[in-house]
Amino acid sequence: MGKFNFIQTELPGVVIVEPTVFGDARGYFMETFQKEEFAAAGIADEFVQDNQSSSTRGVLRGLHFQTEHTQGKLVRVVKGEVFDVAVDCRPGSATFGKWVGVVLSAENKKQFYVPKGFAHGFLVLSDEAEFCYKCTDYYTPSAEGGIPYNDPTVGIQWPDCGCEYRLSEKDGKHTPFAQQSFDCFKDM
């Protein structure tokens, strides 16, 4: 048995990763990334930056992408629980404009791989959540892009978190999906 179970989603390239967890009365141990096993599963990206954020219940971050220095992301939750989403923004894709979501938590230890060409976002479902992500390129503020979380063209079914969603000012001003060309992703 491998150290990871790679579960393909309905969006080609977007993968749920379940690590093998070794636990006993002392706690647990798991590997969260192993280059050769990920490459064998079709995830051969080189990760160049690790990020971590902390958010409280109802915080909705996203949906984000970069128009230059596009990023693939491997994400996981080390405290709390989130609903994590990927949206296909590749104009030539058969799943263009489609989305997939998964609950990630410290308890289930699942990870989510979101390749280049996808917008990404998450909603915090627990009182607090710490979210970690590995990125395949560096954050570039001048290349920020996004999609409204409630875009009717995409139609994401966000879960009830028990309170109103809280967005950054920037995330409340994204251009609707149907009004964007996504030329930055046309060759992906």
Show which residues are catalytic: 64, 133
Q: What number of other Cβ atoms are within 10 A of residue 46's Cβ?
A: 9
Q: Where are the beta strands (DSSP E) in the chain?
A: 4-8, 15-19, 22-24, 27-29, 49-56, 60-66, 73-79, 81-88, 99-105, 111-114, 118-124, 128-135, 144-146
Residue 129 burial (10 A CB sphere; 0-12, 13-18, 19+) = buried
CB 131 within 8 A of CB 122: yes
How far apart, in whole angstroms, are the C-alpha atoms of residue 93 and residue 90?
5
Distance CA 123, CA 98 (A): 18
Place of tokens 């109103």: 164
